[in-house]
A = this chain, B = another copy of it.
Amino acid sequence: MQALIFDLDGTLVDTVYAHIFAWQRALAEAGMDIEGWCIHRRIGMSGGLFTRAVARELGRDISAPEADALQHRHGELFTQLLPDRRPLPGAMELVRFLRLSKIPFGIATSGKRPEINASLEALGLGQETVVIERGNVTHAKPEPDLFLACQQRLGIAVTDCYVVGDAVWDILAARRAGMLSIGLLSGGYGEDELSRAGAFRVYRDPADLHQSLDELGVYPER
């Protein structure tokens, strides 16, 4: 029996570009001008690593209170920019299929509440869903902790878990967790970036993945 462990933003909900733009504006308001593409390529890594990367880019330090203020302002702007969450094509159908087929799955995201609540709601994911979030682990992606915590909660062997994500950080964290991974283009990375990082397969979006579950040997228990 195999399990699917999903990233959330850019993998199941179409939120990456709002996150990029909210980060860019929050940083600019604080006098830190960072190019959009540099933010894009760092979305999905832990907030601590993200801040360190931004600091390196700017050639200055960012203090812990400054980082907290940025994160808070990002959350405000994100909610303003994207009051509604939109599931990516096929995401709702895929999780419904997995649930009905009793194929184990969970969510493992670097995101925090309350930002992730609206996404889980938009996907129709209720209390019964296994969700591992930033606060549940010491280190976020690209450390393997989120995926390993999800795998343990699901009770499925590491070698039977597939990670599904849109960022190279998902792919890297999956490798470090000893799991195979599947890349989705729906977060705006190129196919080759995901393949080169180690994704076993790359699909367009959740709908494309759903159509291709047979290629992964994922099917309902008989």
Interface, chain A (partner B; CB < 8 A): 14, 16-18, 20-21, 24, 33, 35-37, 39-40, 81, 86, 88-89, 185-193, 196, 205
Contact = CB atoms under 8 A, between A and B. Distances in A.
Chain A at the B interface: SS class: helix
Contact of A16 (B33, B37, B81, B192): B37
Nearest to A36: B17
28 contacts: A14-B35, A16-B36, A16-B37, A17-B20, A17-B21, A17-B24, A17-B36, A17-B37, A17-B39, A18-B36, A21-B21, A21-B81, A33-B86, A35-B89, A35-B205, A36-B188, A37-B185, A37-B186, A37-B187, A37-B188, A40-B188, A190-B190, A190-B191, A190-B193, A191-B192, A191-B193, A192-B192, A192-B193
Contacts of A185: 37
Contacts of A37: 16-17, 185-188
